[in-house]
Amino acid sequence: MKRIYMDHSATTPVDSLVVDAMLPYFTDKFGNASSLHSFGQEAAQALEQSRQQVANSIGAKPEEIIFTSGGTESDNLAIKGVAYRNSRKGKHIITSTIEHPAVLSTCAYLEKEGFEVTYVAVDSDGIIDTEELEKSIRDDTILISVMHANNEIGTIQPISDISKFAKERGIYLHTDAVQSLGKIAVNVDELGVDLLSISSHKIHGPKGVGALYVRKGTPLQTLAHGGGHERHMRAGTENISGIVGFAKAVALADERIVDDAKHMRHLRDLLINKVMNSIDNAYLVGHPTKRLPNNVNIRFSFIEGESMLLFLDMKGIAISTGSACSSKSLEPSHVLTAIGLKPEDSHGSLRITLGKDNLQEEIDYVAKALVEIVGHLRAMSPIAGKNPSLR
């Protein structure tokens, strides 16, 4: 059976050009970047070239890039690093209710450590309430962390607006740009951020590598103690092959972003229109236009997302319900709850996230499968089954 992958917000296949770029660093060029001999120099050179590549891509300077093990570690380092280092100035942090668990769990942990966190609400499209955010700023606020684009519903946040009042009040601004990188423009000066998290495996790079951008002059406390790697901000022998692969993935994304985004946006709108036109009681979740070019999130009344997912999987189609991070629990997604969906409505939601290599014929196949499966499940549903107009 042919398989169709449309779960690119969970992870992406590694590009073959990325694999090619990485391979020598497992074999010939296996050196430790801290060693003084030629093997070490080779590794150190690859490390610094990769740093330059990643920095260029987001409009940063190479010395502002700290390589990490991925988005989760970058979020932890940004939030705990700023919180611990600035706790004498204040212990108040502002974030949103729809952040990735890497941000929300870190904030919850800091609350146990004596920090105070304000979780600013979002509207029914998932856009943060900037007025409420501004009102929640206090004299002891040290950090605002709001994601650039949401991993479940694809909503893009007005980060540069938020940066205006963060700057006025001398508050550090962090954004999680893991989902936006490679899909929409990510530039640290245009966004006006002091810290920005990115991850390799969401942009066709290898898993287990990412970076944190830290604007020059932003005081940060390290979380990993050891050797002096990454300018003393992140100890541990660098993952050279992973970092080289990440930098290659970033370079490819930069080259292709305009064409890829156009292609994905076309497929996204095609799929949304097909589903909306052929299935009753289906609703687009998230903002109609301020959304990632590859994100489709639709909810279907009277049926369970999990059942749809299993039937789609039997047809070789890989997608998600709600969020990949919470899809194994029965709790409704915190993002869908935050935009005001009732539990019974959020349970019927599907997240379909497209990739640059998806084809139009795959969209046709998925749309057809959805019509069939939704019809089938509704026919069995005690609420929907009696009403043929709902199929």
Ligand X SMILES: *Cc1c(COP(=O)(O)O)cnc(C)c1O
Compare residues 151 and 381 and give the one whose CB is closer to ligand X.
Answer: 151
Contact positions with ligand X (CB under 6 A) in 9-28: 9
Query: Of the listed pieces 69-77, 85-93, 226-234, 270-278, which binds ligand X according to CB under 6 A?
Result: 69-77
E strand residue ranges, the chain: 4-5, 65-68, 92-96, 116-120, 141-145, 172-176, 195-199, 210-214, 282-284, 295-300, 317-318, 320-321, 349-353
Q: Does 7 bind ligand X (CB under 6 A)?
A: no
Q: Which of 81, 192, 205, 210 binds ligand X (CB under 6 A)?
A: 210
Q: How far apart are CA 244 and CA 111, in angstroms?
A: 37
The least distance separating ligand X from the CB of residue 104, rounded to whole angstroms, comes to 10
Closest residue to ligand X, judged by C-beta, is 71
Compare residues 239 and 381 and give the one whose CB is closer to ligand X.
Answer: 239
Q: b/e map of 297-310 (b: 16 or more CB within 10 Å)?
A: bbbbbbbbbebbbe
The four Cα atoms 250, 256, 258, 262 give a dihedral, to 10 degrees, of -120
Q: Which of 96, 179, 222, 353 binds ligand X (CB under 6 A)?
A: 179
User: Residue 370: how many CB atoms within 10 A of its CB?
Assistant: 26
Compare residues 174 and 378 and give the one whose CB is closer to ligand X.
Answer: 174
The least distance separating ligand X from the CB of residue 154, rounded to whole angstroms, comes to 11
Sequence-distant (≥ 6) Cβ neighbours of residue 372 within 8 angstroms: none
Q: Does 320 bind ligand X (CB under 6 A)?
A: no
Compare residues 199 and 218 and give the one whose CB is closer to ligand X.
Answer: 199
295-300/317-318 β-pairing:
unpaired
Query: Of the listed pieces 54-62, 197-205, 251-259, 273-281, which binds ligand X according to CB under 6 A?
Result: 197-205
Q: Does 72 bind ligand X (CB under 6 A)?
A: yes
Catalytic-role residue among 184, 324, 325, 371: 325
Compare residues 42 and 176 and give the one whose CB is closer to ligand X.
Answer: 176
The least distance separating ligand X from the CB of residue 372, rounded to whole angstroms, comes to 30
Q: Does 353 bind ligand X (CB under 6 A)?
A: no
Q: Which of 183, 202, 234, 248 binds ligand X (CB under 6 A)?
A: 202
CA angle 174, 177, 182 (to 5 degrees): 150
Query: Please, are residues 246 and 210 in contact by the beta-carbon 8 Å criterion?
Result: yes
CA angle 51, 55, 61 (to 5 degrees): 100
The sign of the CA dihedral 120, 122, 126, 128 is negative
Q: Does 192 bind ligand X (CB under 6 A)?
A: no
Q: Which of 70, 154, 245, 322 binds ligand X (CB under 6 A)?
A: 70
SS3 percent helix, strand, coil of the chain, rounded to 5, is 45, 15, 40
Classified as helix, coil or strand, 8 is: coil
Q: Does 176 bind ligand X (CB under 6 A)?
A: yes
Q: Does 199 bind ligand X (CB under 6 A)?
A: yes
Amino acid at 286: G
- Number of residues interacting with ligand X: please give it, by CB under 6 A: 15
Q: Which of 22, 33, 102, 159 binds ligand X (CB under 6 A)?
A: 102
- Whether 325 is catalytic is yes
The least distance separating ligand X from the CB of residue 177, rounded to whole angstroms, comes to 8
The least distance separating ligand X from the CB of residue 196, rounded to whole angstroms, comes to 11
DSSP 8-class letter at 126: S
Q: How far apart are CA 43 and CA 27, in angstroms?
A: 12
Bridge partners (DSSP) of residue 199 are: 210
The least distance separating ligand X from the CB of residue 327, rounded to whole angstroms, comes to 13
Classified as helix, coil or strand, 104 is: helix
Query: Residue 43 has which token pair?
Result: 């590794």
Contact positions with ligand X (CB under 6 A) in 126-165: 147, 151
Query: Of the listed pieces 16-24, 126-134, 172-180, 373-381, which binds ligand X according to CB under 6 A?
Result: 172-180
Q: Which residues are catalytic?
A: 325
Q: Residues interacting with ligand X, by CB under 6 A?
A: 9, 70-72, 100, 102, 147, 151, 176, 178-179, 199, 201-202, 210
